[in-house]
Structure 1
Amino acid sequence: MKKLVAIMLSAVLALSFTACSKQSAKAQMPNPFADCKTIEDAEKIAGFHVTAPDKIPEGYTQSIIQAIKDDLVQIIYKDGENEITFRQGKDSEGNGDISGDYNQYKEKNTIMTGDLKVLIRGNDGKVSNAVWTNGEHAFSITANPGETGLDKNVILSMIDSIR
């Protein structure tokens, strides 16, 4: 009798674990990004004009364009496995960091380029993340973690080409 109770208890626990696993899988957050064919399509979704960089490092090509309704546009440039992500969004929260980059960096500096104050973060003299605002919009450029980062002048060239 004890064996039967133990087997039934084990079965109930296994079934309840499976049920809980399936429920948590259903509760995942949906992806807020909509894939777009063109920047114009992304602008319609986001509700603002996008000012993407004109200068992209050599070897990189525009690969993915995505938008979040009434909020943000993301453009991903690729060079093989390496990626640079440009984001432009409404600066409704006033913090200016829309990068989604939560990595810890050894170096963090604020620099001026023209009249823009840009926060750059990275390691070993290379920049992996740059964020700034122009009053109305927040911007970011992030080099993927697999890359060692970009030269500061490359990032500044990208930022200056947005104006």
Structure 2
Amino acid sequence: MCILRFYVPINLFVSLCGNDPATVKTGGDTIIIDPDAKTEDGDSSQIPNPLTSYESLAELAKAVGFDIKTPTVPAGYQADAYIDISGELAEVFYVKGDDTLVYRVSRGEGDNSGDYNTYSSKKTVDVNGVSVELRGNDKVNVATWSNGGFAYSVSSEQGISETEVAAVVSSAL
């Protein structure tokens, strides 16, 4: 018969359960691990969730502090979620069957898509005087552009056509 013993520092469970010291209590020969415990002041060392959901585009715009035009999305896509990330980036999800179209707007310039995939095609097109970068495989999976002090992007896992991208971009200008 083989007996194995493992020694684990008890404070390791504090880290594993969110860094609140109230998580682990010891007394005599008893150890209590309660991942839902909170310090008396309710403070927790966990990182706050940067995502906040809203019921409408108007509520989202108010939260981020800038107007968001409703984009012209391809036929069949329906708005499903309105989210702000850290109060700085507005994100609207449009759903059609198995595909989700993500439209993002933030202050500044550059790529705010959050999509770092490598695609077989990358090119730049002009839509109403605005330079739009298109990336994708057979269709456009990600389009990014900047205009008027704002960065924009639209992305789709299944991809949309260049004509559909142009409609989204035009409606955002």
State the TM-score, normalizing by the size of structure 1.
0.79
Q: State the partner residue of 2:93.
A: 76
Higher strand proportion, which one? Answer: 2
Q: Matched residues in 1 for 2:152 and 2:18: separation?
A: 37
The structure number with the bigger radius of gyration is 2
1:118 aligns with 2:159: no
Q: Percent identity?
A: 28
Higher helix proportion, which one? Answer: 1
Q: State the partner residue of 2:74.
A: 57
Task: Evaluate the alpha carbon distance shift between residue 108 and residue 162 of structure 1 in structure 2; reply closer, same or farther with a 3 A threshold.
Answer: same
After TM superposition, the runs of 4+ consecutive aligned structure 1 residues lying more than 2 A away are 13-31
Task: Give how far 1:23 is off.
Answer: 4.8
Query: Counterparts of 1:13-162 in structure 2 under 5 Å?
Result: 13=8, 21-23=16-18, 29-53=47-71, 55-91=72-108, 94=109, 96-124=110-138, 126-144=139-157, 147=158, 149-162=159-172
State the TM-score, normalizing by the size of structure 2.
0.75
Q: Deviations over 1:29-80 (max 9, x none)?
A: 5431211111111111101111231x22111101101123541111100012
Task: Give how far 1:21 is off.
Answer: 3.7
Figure out how many residues of one structure are paired with residues of the other and give that number: 149
**Structure 2 runs not aligned, ≥5 long:** 20-34, 36-43
Q: Which has the higher contact order (CA 8 A, sep 6+)?
A: 1
- Structural RMSD (CA): 2.6
